[in-house]
Amino acid sequence: MGYTLKMRIWRGDQGGGDLGDYDVEVSEGEVVLDAIHRVQATQAGDLAVRWNCKAGKCGSCSAEVNGRPRLMCMTRLSDFDPAETVTVTPMRSFPVIRDLVTDVSFNYEKARELPSFAPPPRDADGKRRMAQVDVERGQEFRKCIECFLCQDTCHVIRDHEDNKPAFAGPRFFLRYAELDMHPLDTHDRRALAQGAAGLGMCNITKCCTEVCPEGIRITDNAIIPMKERVVDRKYDPLVWLGSKIGLRNRDNDGRSEA
């Protein structure tokens, strides 16, 4: 059963822009991206919007719906009252290109700053081995679809553009954690996470976790464990004392600082 949805969509570029009003016919079961496409098809052929899979797996259609960072393809219209006006804007942490499309290249620059996985030499039979329980640990982190909604909502860069050079953001803390927990990685990434990636800038207010469309517990399972690993290295009195008397965690043997 269809109805007329009232929408406000931000149109513009870096020179300026406005929230434009659109009335669009929508049907039961549709999502915000369907409505955007119908506006594009029937009323605003030049509306710029980035999208691809329409299944919540490509991470392309990130935007802000009624002020909340969301994937447009995973935001059901049935979540809103039919009389409600649905406002769609581009992500507000990144430079806008046009309309709903932003320049997310900040994230690719940060990805390049992160040393890649560095496995040890292969076993004698040419294989590398990991126990299943260690494989499973990293699976949560590998669900990331790089929609960058966590980066968008992170106030460290959303509200402070000047922090961008010094802060990698939650998506990349996830990657740091994944690699630092990886039994085969030979890099010790703790100093890098604290220094170049700016882990200490995060004040763990958990917005990244709240907006993650994959439900990854970014703060609890990646950022806080990385902070604790940094504490191991620099701030724990018992770890320090243990190292002085020859007691130390041998789990990091074979690793060198990245």
Partner 1 sequence: MASTDAPSTTPGSTGVDGPTRARIGARTLREDRWWLAPLATFIVFSGFVVFATYRAFAGDYFYAEPYLSPFFSPCLTADCVAGSSDFGQPLSWWSLSPALVVLIFPLGFRMTCYYYRKAYYRGFWLSPPACAVAEPHGAYSGETRFPLILQNLHRWFWYAAVVIALILTWDTVLAFGPAPGEPDGIHMGLGTLLMVANVVLIWLYTLGCHSCRHITGGRLRHFSKHPVRYRIWTLVSRLNNRHGTYAWYSLFSVAIVDFYVYLLATGAFDDPRFF
Picking from 171, 148, 147, 150, the residue whose alpha carbon sits closest to that of residue 59 is 147
> Which of 29, 55, 125, 203 contacts partner 1 by CB under 8 A?
203
- How does strand 68-71 pair with strand 62-65? antiparallel
> What residues numbered 234-253 form the site for partner 1, per CB under 8 A?
234-238, 249, 251-252
Interacting span for partner 1 (CB under 8 A) from 54-62, 116-124, 140-148, 177-185: 177-185
Q: Is 191 in the site for partner 1 (CB under 8 A)?
A: no
> Which of 171, 222, 227, 258 contacts partner 1 by CB under 8 A?
227
> What residues numbered 113-132 form the site for partner 1, per CB under 8 A?
130-132
The nearer residue to partner 1, 53 or 220, going by C-beta atoms, is 220
Q: Tokens at residue 128, please?
A: 């590398």
Interacting span for partner 1 (CB under 8 A) from 6-14, 29-37, 54-62, 110-118: 6-14
197 Cβ contact list (under 8 Å, min separation 6)? 110, 113, 114, 167, 168, 172, 173, 176
Q: DSSP code of 31?
A: B
Pair 141, 222: CB distance under 8 Å: yes
> Which of 60, 75, 89, 151 contacts partner 1 by CB under 8 A?
89
> What residues numbered 152-171 form the site for partner 1, per CB under 8 A?
153, 155-156, 158-163
| Pairwise CA distance, residues 220 & 226, whole Å | 10
Q: Is 68 in the site for partner 1 (CB under 8 A)?
A: yes
The nearer residue to partner 1, 26 or 96, going by C-beta atoms, is 96
Q: How many residues bind partner 1 (CB under 8 A)?
A: 71
Q: Is 94 in the site for partner 1 (CB under 8 A)?
A: yes
- How does strand 62-65 pair with strand 85-89? antiparallel
Pair 168, 197: CB distance under 8 Å: yes
Q: Is 95 in the site for partner 1 (CB under 8 A)?
A: yes
Q: Is 138 in the site for partner 1 (CB under 8 A)?
A: no
DSSP reduced 3-state for 46? coil
Strand-pair partners of 188? 257
> What residues numbered 22-61 form the site for partner 1, per CB under 8 A?
none
Strand-pair partners of 87? 8
Q: How far is the CB of 164 from partner 1 (least distance, A)?
A: 9
Q: Is 198 in the site for partner 1 (CB under 8 A)?
A: yes
Phi-psi group of 29: left, alpha or beta (phi > 0 → left; psi -120 to 50 → alpha; rest → beta): left
